[in-house]
Chains A and B, each alone.
Chain A
């Protein structure tokens, strides 16, 4: 038998008899399972998830669920097909034994695997003060259970909501509060909302957008302490500028923490930014050697991207879960040249304050910005980001149909600034500094982070300085 036919036999046997375990039962886990079955995998499939719910759609949680249009439990994801898996929901994976090829669960079970997919995603960063974190009326938003509680709290019409952190999710929640006619204060450490992902120039536009919508936006300000009443319910917030706010609901929108703790001791390349893997979704071990049987997909994955100087990128957007999961699944049941790379053009969107913000590329990789189409004042425009004379990202506000034109330019590393359009040029069409904050600052964590060339790099410490 030739080597190639041996390999083909191996693949065929694995597809029929292999055991695959997926740790993580949200969007990435589900789509990977479907893709495995589509690829002809008929072996045993186990899906482990720490939430009790079957996979559900998260983006609606910060929008139509909070608004009260859709109940928190009603965002279950459609299935593209049968997956015929053994679902272990409501039980967390607590350790990975790579020698014996087993996943250890919180209830003591051991789940053996031939190939493993890590898709455990992220969780909300909790309030930094453990005592204050126990206050009633203090929320984070990641899960449908979180959303149910927060929706109920907003429905009770609190006198004032305080949102700590003006990233995409924090801003969306502030928008919902205004739609509900609630008074809302947003406290943001950086100079403006969205600054980590999109820079200060866009941040200033977002700040005006929030204030025009009636948000009490405080920038350059941290929340130093929360105080509660005798019932243990939050009532006051002390800000670093010396002011005190009376608040009934506080939402901590402080970013995400990758769920890597269960991988301690497994000697994989895990760190603050997730699990490092190659462009084929195969995990690196701690030495930087690619493993053969462990794959990564979704928010937790960190992989090199050729368009961005092979820097490792960690993308917290839908395509990472859907496209990454599909590629990982494909590669889990293929060998050699049949494998595919996961090389998406990153894309993201956010619906807030009546504006559809859509972007592509990695804007924070750039240092310059130029407005290319439309009117900034009207909140209808397109802008491109550049680095070293090449376009690396683009953003549109209610101008989404133009985005793919910029996406195509990013994919071919076209020159920056791009040639001016044939019409509708903005009043100020000169390139300028995009004003991105230093990524080592405590806030300003973009959702796509470039994390360097080293698979095991741990990045900076992000716990707020103690006072």
Chain B
């Protein structure tokens, strides 16, 4: 899986962090840090975190598109 967070859009609501604690961390009160290439075992957590963002700042690629062979 691959994710990227648009940190311009992210306002630090942190609705996502507790839903995927191994992939998303809060540094201080508002700054988000994320693992861009989390393990597949995190699928459910990532799906929950993506849906939870009020400003839809998390972009996730759950499976590679057909034109790419690398994970």
Contact = CB atoms under 8 A, between A and B. Distances in A.
Contact of A80 (B13, B27, B29, B59): B59
Contacts of A349: 7-8, 10
A358 B70 CA distance: 34
A355 interface: yes
Nearest to B8: A347
A57 B36 contact: yes
Contacts of B27: 351, 354, 356
Contacts of A380: 29
B7 A59 contact: yes
A74 B36 contact: yes
Contact of A76 (B2, B7, B12, B59): B2
B50 to A, nearest CB: 11
Contacts of A317: 8
Contacts of B68: 54, 79, 82
Contacts of A322: 6
A400 interface: yes
Interface stretch (A62-70, A107-115, A239-247): A62-70
A52 to B, nearest CB: 12
Interface string A34-60: 000000000000000000001011011
B64 A79 contact: yes
B36 A76 contact: yes
Q: Chain B contact residues (Cβ within 8 angstroms of A): what range?
A: 20 to 34
A222 interface: no
Contacts of A400: 10-12, 30
B51 interface: no
A349 B8 CA distance: 7
A82 B8 contact: no
Contacts of B12: 356, 398, 400-401
Nearest to B68: A79
A348 B8 contact: yes
Interface of chain B, main secondary structure: loop
B6 to A, nearest CB: 7
A82 B66 contact: yes
B28 A355 contact: yes
A198 interface: no
Contacts of A56: 36
B67 to A, nearest CB: 4
Nearest to B29: A398
B36 A70 contact: yes
Nearest to B65: A82
Most chain A CB neighbours (cut-off 10 Å) among B25, B28, B59: B28
Contacts of A353: 28
Interface in B24-59: 25, 27-37, 59
A401 B14 CA distance: 12
Contacts of A78: 2-4, 59-61
A401 B11 contact: yes
B65 A318 contact: no
Contacts of A403: 11
B70 A75 contact: no
B31 A355 contact: yes
A348 B12 CA distance: 14
Interface of B: 2-4, 6-8, 10-13, 25, 27-37, 59-61, 64-68, 70
14 contacts: A56-B36, A60-B34, A77-B36, A78-B4, A78-B61, A80-B61, A83-B65, A318-B7, A351-B7, A351-B32, A355-B28, A356-B28, A356-B31, A403-B11
Interchain residue pairs A-B with the least CB separation, the first 8:
A78-B61, A354-B28, A351-B31, A356-B30, A78-B2, A356-B31, A74-B37, A82-B67
